[in-house]
Structure formats: structure tokens, C-alpha cells
Amino acid sequence: MSPSSVHVFLLFALYWKQICASSPFPMCPGSPAEKHAKCAMTVEFPHASCEDVNAEIVARMLRVDGWQDPHNQGTYSLLNYSSGLGKIEGSRITGDELYTDLFVFELIESGQGCQLHACSESQVRSVVDYSTNYCNLRSLYCNQSDSCPIITLNLEYEEVYVDCGQRTVEKCISTRENET
């Protein structure tokens, strides 16, 4: 390689590193399965602080006031979190107790509200997950107009999908009995 080629290559490598570092989704939890379903997205909460969003998500995960997962009554576990800004890491076991998914939320103050980077990944080989990874995330912040049970806050939000091909909203409100 000529010196000018090396220089161009190094500039490209630094540029690519910067793009990857600024992407919100290197924080996905990962999976031991080579082929697996996942959902990565950004969620904007224009009228809620990150502290409020964090508190509602954690309260749902801890099943405060008997809260139940509206997507087939799965079971959430809180693996790691910091209040307010920062990360929330968790897992969800499906209602039939056959599968476990891992997920991460990262909360960042954004103007008057909060921006949430969210990613859920299946931990076994899967290509089609029938929107489960999407619902793993959405069930923890959806609001009453979505027919979701809330604990304290009826959060207004807007989702922007990064890598979330399977995201049928209607699948997020279901029970094992009516799932086909």
C-alpha cells in the first residue's frame, strides 16, 4: 500500500469508528445464537423526564400494584439499572416459559423530554418472533390509549425504528389463550 492509500484507509477507519460510536445501538445485549430476531429502536417521550420514564419502566418490571405483562403474561426480571439517566437491563421469559429474551434501555435527556434507545434480542436461534422483541420493549412504556395497563404515568411517545422489522402493535396486547 502506498502512503496515500494508507492515509485514506486510516481516515475511512476513523470515520467508520465515529459513525459506529455515535450509533445508539452498539448497546444491544447480544445473543449466543448466530441467527436471531431482534428489535432496536429509539423512543421519544416529549413531555416526560427520563427519571419519570425510568420509574414507570422499572415499576412495571417489578410488577408494582400487580401489573401484568399485556403480551401473553410474560415475566420480566430487572438485571441492572440506575435511576434517572442511564441504562436499564433486563430479561423477559415468555408466558409459556419456553424462551428468554434480553433487552437494554438507555435513557438520555432530550430537550423538554426524554429519548430512549431500546433493544431486545432473542437468545435462541429465531428468524420470526411474531413481534415478541418489539412487544418486550413496548409493553414497558405503552399507554392507556394503546390498551396497556399503566402504573403511574400515561406516557406520550413516538417510536423510530432502527432494526425492528417485526412490529405488529396488535400482537402486544394478547393473552396465551387468544394467541394463534
* Beta carbons of 5 and 96 less than 8 angstroms apart: no
Three-state SS at 89: strand
Q: What is the pTM of this model?
A: 0.82
Q: Which three cell numbers stand for residue 160?
A: 423510530
Nearest to 84 by CA among 132, 115, 50, 108: 50
Contacts 24+ apart (CB under 8 A), 77-85: 81/54, 83/51, 83/54, 83/55, 83/58, 84/50, 84/51, 84/54, 85/50, 85/51, 85/54, 85/109
Return per-residue pLDDT of the chain as tens, 180 residues. Answer: 555 544 444 344 333 333 333 445 668 999 999 999 999 999 999 999 999 999 999 999 999 999 999 999 999 999 998 877 789 999 999 999 999 999 999 999 999 999 999 999 999 998 889 999 999 999 999 999 999 999 999 999 999 999 998 999 999 998 655 444
- In angstroms, the Cα distances linking 12 to 4, 5, 8, 120 are 12, 10, 6, 30
Q: Are 100 and 91 in contact (CB under 8 A)?
A: yes
Helix (H) or strand (E) holding 12: helix 3-22
Is the Cα torsion angle 147, 55, 87, 23 positive or negative in sign? positive
Provide the β-strand partners of residue 115.
44, 108
Cβ neighbourhood burial of 127 (10 Å; 0-12, 13-18, 19+) = exposed
